Structure 1
């Protein structure tokens, strides 16, 4: 039981460690993933090390973000785990006088290597989102917003208008992509040796 609690605590710390991004603590953020770890979210697909560098560049832009993270639901199998973590992304571009709130779930594959738990693959499943208007209502280009599924349209629109284009399709609540993502992760979990 002590081992389970220690493992669980380590994974909880990885999930809540995402606040390091909001605090621009880039070196601490690098510790969340194994060196070969990958991430796929609206505006970035690739190695996590490259994501940290891209996030640092985003941090100097007009776009500001805050992530509110909950405790994860975790499934273990030997030295592998899957964590599904509710999150709220709060974003705002002061220059555009526009913001958004995006409710998503991080879906992570996590491995314990040399006694250390780290993320190896992070994906996001988008549940819902909406625009916010910190200084009063501003016009939204409805055609641009309509390019994206409603679950992440507000976030994608704000990213796009802030210079971080969104390409591709991403899992949304109840979508076929969510089903495929989860089935693949469960197979990966079962394949642990």
Structure 2
């Protein structure tokens, strides 16, 4: 779908502001990237944006280290609606069974966006988890993983899910990966959003 240069710049800036302000703990400005009906789905959280901001702030203040890095970006625009896809990595440092590790997950942010009086805002964010890996921070350290726990999660975020579970989070299974039913359903919801659907997908299902 055709889009103006202004839309292209504004949507890219919106996604970049999300990552910079969230990771910096700039919660007031971070709240400004969300639509009033904003919804966030992640491995460890599914719910309204306001609740996600509060949970992220609490984690930040308690030493939870989750950072984001962005890559290529593409957007489709239909009037005052858009679907933005942005390559990203999620990086988390945590202790697993007494061993400090880094887990890195590569994928895409898939954002349902809407333009209002204040400009573009995110109505729903659904990450797509494509692949991940786990490394010990100290090369001399060793870590033996619980295979049963690791296999509980889809291949796209199995190590991220493992680390977050060990850290005390409840991790949702069945989230979209590079291929499969979940991501195909997401693409269908995105197409319907651009076509004028009343909601950005089945949020009740995503929150279950």
Q: Output the TM-score relative to the length of structure 1.
A: 0.92
CA contact (8 A) 1:16 1:70 kept: no
Distance in structure 2 (CA, Å) of the matches to 1:177 and 1:192: 19
CA contact (8 A) 1:80 1:192 kept: no
Q: Alignment partner for residue 157 of structure 1, among 153, 162, 165?
A: 162
Distance in structure 1 (CA, Å) of the matches to 2:126 and 2:34: 13
Show CA shifts across 1:129-163 (max 9, x none): 01011023322222111110111011111111112
Aligned to 2:9: 9
Q: Which runs of 5+ in 1 are unaligned?
A: none
Aligned residues: 191
Q: Does 1:24 align with 2:29?
A: no
Structure 1 moving runs of 4+ over 3 Å = none
Q: Does 1:108 align with 2:108?
A: no
SS in 2 for 1:144: helix
Aligned to 1:49: 50
Distance in structure 1 (CA, Å) of the matches to 2:142 and 2:37: 43
CA contact (8 A) 1:128 1:151 kept: yes
Distance in structure 1 (CA, Å) of the matches to 2:153 and 2:121: 31
Show CA shifts across 1:75-121 (max 9, x none): 01101110011101111015641220100111011000115100101
The CA RMSD measured in Å over matched residues stands at: 1.8
**Range with greater deviation from structure 2 (88-97 or 165-174):** 88-97
Distance in structure 2 (CA, Å) of the matches to 1:168 and 1:138: 24
Distance in structure 2 (CA, Å) of the matches to 1:119 and 1:13: 12
**Range with greater deviation from structure 2 (18-27 or 124-133):** 18-27
Show CA shifts across 1:49-92 (max 9, x none): 11011011111334312211124210011011100111011110
Aligned to 1:179: 184
